[in-house]
Amino acid sequence: MSLSFEKRKKKILEYVSKEGKVEVTVLADEFNVSAETIRRDLERLDNDGKLKKVYGGAVKVRADSSELPFEQKTLINAAQKAAIGKYAAAMINYGDTVMLGNGTTMLEVIRNLGDRSDVTIVTNSAPAMLLAMEVFPGRIIFTGGELNKHQKTTSGPLSELMLDQLRVNKTFLSAGGLSLKDGVTDYELSEATISRKMIERADETIFLADSSKFGKATFAKICSLDDVYSIVTDRECPEEWQKNLNERDIEIFIADKED
């Protein structure tokens, strides 16, 4: 007996997330339905923005190259980001020096470091620096460089030069997307470059990614999944992704939302 559309939909999206594309003939054989049924399925998923229908099949939707302004991003998945930030803050040990990359989740990390005068924060995020000035009692180092007014971060040769002078215990990074094919990506080349430099200058890097980031690829590559060792995410992270990460020996930490 053939699967219902909802069950086919789940499988199709899993295949697209993992492989980047699907073929009508392969899916028709897999689900024991006609090629026309699969074409209708792909058209429905295309209309919903889940994938892009092409001749003979479908491909993964490429993320838009433009990123929402920082203020708007703070409103998206706020509860998940709060849980992830709290979990990440608990991973910081006594006396640690840490780098915090761009992204709104970094604000949630800082909000949970209000009693940690023993910690040093290095960041290229102006909102993170300003919040830390208000609530964080430890040492704060802000990297200079060219200011991105849209995302309120600094980047460029001056930022890289400063980061080259520092060595930290941990780097915490956000990402625009995580994809099996494209790895960890960001929206802007300059931000991806700074993220790679922060990875280079840390003993350990932990990625902070809410569940909406999985199966998504944005413009600029930070690193491949083979270079990732730890990810903190939320309870809504797809089971298929948890399985994929475990198979790659990537340690995944699940942060629960507070009631």
Of 25, 41, 60, the residue that ends a domain is: 60
- Tell me whether residue 177 is exposed, middle or buried, using C-beta atoms within 10 angstroms of its C-beta: 0 to 12, 13 to 18, 19 or more: buried
Alpha-carbon dihedral sign for residues 12, 14, 15, 17: positive
The total of structural domains in the chain comes to 2
86/200 same-domain check: yes
Q: Where are the alpha helices (DSSP H) in the chain?
A: 5-19, 24-31, 35-47, 70-73, 78-90, 105-111, 126-135, 157-163, 189-200, 239-247
Looking at residue 89, its pLDDT comes to 98
Per-residue pLDDT tens over the stretch 37-60: 999 999 888 777 677 788 888 887
Distance between CA atoms of residues 16 and 12, nearest Å: 6
pLDDT tens digits, one per residue of 86-135:
999 999 999 999 999 999 999 999 999 999 999 999 999 999 999 999 99
What range does the domain containing 162 cover? Answer: 70-255
What is each CA distance from 258 to 80, 104, 116, 203, in whole angstroms? Answer: 9, 18, 22, 30
- Tally Cβ neighbours within 10 Å of residue 159: 21
Same domain for 230 and 160: yes
Single-letter amino acid code for the residue at 70 = F
Average pLDDT, the chain: 90
Residues 122 and 195 both lie in one domain: yes
Is 65 within the bounds of a domain?
Answer: no
Of 78, 67, 110, 98, which is closest to residue 206 (Cα–Cα)?
98
Shared domain check, 84 and 26 = no
Task: Judge if 158 and 53 occupy the same domain.
Answer: no
Residue 207 is predicted with a pLDDT of 98
Q: What is the CATH number of the domain that holds 17?
A: 1.10.10.10
With a threshold of 0.85, does the pTM exceed it?
no
Q: Would 102 be classed as within a structural domain?
A: yes
The pLDDT tens digits for 171-224 are 999 989 998 888 999 988 899 999 999 999 999 999 999 998 998 888 899 999
Q: Would you place residue 259 in the very low, low, confident or very high pLDDT band (cuts 50, 70, 90)? A: very low
